[in-house]
Amino acid sequence: MPVEAAATLLRRNTIAEQIHAVLRRDIICGRLSPRASLAEQELARRFGVSRTPIREAMIKLADEGLVEIFPQYGSFVGPIKLAEVLDSQFARETLECAAVEKAVTHMDAGHADRLKAILDRQRALHKSGDDEGFFRADEAMHAFIFALAGHPTAWLFVTGAKAQMDRVRYLAMTILRKQPSVVAQHAQIIDRLCARDRAGAVAAMRSHMRGILKTIEILRGDKYDYFAEADGDPPPRGEAQDQPARKRPRKTEAKST
């Protein structure tokens, strides 16, 4: 491949990756609501690019289950898939409990100070109303526990598998205002870690991980049309955002050409 053509391809791929990262974040944190329309032309104007990198980003998002593409009809933010949320919860609880159990044996005063500083930051971010900052601090605490356990890479597996779960967590923060509850649960985990109480730390983490099950139950009542029981089987709802009232056709698999 000529150097010029390779450079053009690299730039295009980089742009598509950047657009994918922005849209993925917008979907997970709820700036783009489930079932919202994603018009290529509007996105191209927003990012100041052609439709090609938009399509590439959308295909990747579809592969991740965050976007649904309906040929001849349009693309939409995918609903939150309950089956994937529950699978993520199961996997995350298993790994997080194992991590906190190992982390207890490595705790020292410096680690305790680091965890308490993260918790203090969460409290401050909650008071300031910074939901995204609060979420990042939440992630930092869990990532630190994995690092303390000696398995920092395992956290990468967790983050890669919990996109649908994170959508529920964001909804809980912005709709149910669950930050005080999360802070209290984190404080209990950190307290048990600092006391080097292995059983207590595991129990506190398990309780924290299972909190999302109650959250799902509440949100399914308040935001029923945001969820789907299974892939390809969305619950009954009104028409897609900004779309005429017509039946949506069956989704097909998104493929790159």
Would you say residue 250 lies in a domain?
no
Could you report the per-residue pLDDT of 12-35, keeping only the tens digit for each?
A: 568 999 999 999 999 999 999 999
Domain count, the chain: 2
Same domain, yes or no, for 118 and 21?
Answer: no
Range of 129's domain? 81-224
Which of 167-176, 186-195, 223-232 has the highest mean predicted lDDT (pLDDT)? 186-195
pLDDT band at 5 (very low <50, low <70, confident <90, very high): low
Same domain, 95 and 181: yes
What pLDDT score does 253 carry?
Answer: 45
pLDDT digits (tens, 9 = 90+) for 146-171: 999 999 999 999 998 899 999 999 99
CA dist 202 and 193 (Å) reads: 9
Percent of the chain whose pLDDT exceeds 70: 84
Examine the domain organization and report whether 169 and 54 are in the same domain: no
Mean of pLDDT values over 120-147: 96
Q: Do 205 and 89 fall into the same domain?
A: yes
Query: Residue 174 falls within a domain, yes or no?
Result: yes
Q: Which domain CATH number covers 30?
A: 1.10.10.10
Mean pLDDT of 215-221: 91
Mapped to the 3 state alphabet, what secondary structure does 116-174 carry? HHHHHHHHHHHHHCCHHHHHHHHHHHHHHHHHHHCCHHHHHHHHHCCHHHHHHHHHHHH
Where residue 150 falls (left for φ over 0; alpha for ψ -120 to 50; beta otherwise) is: left
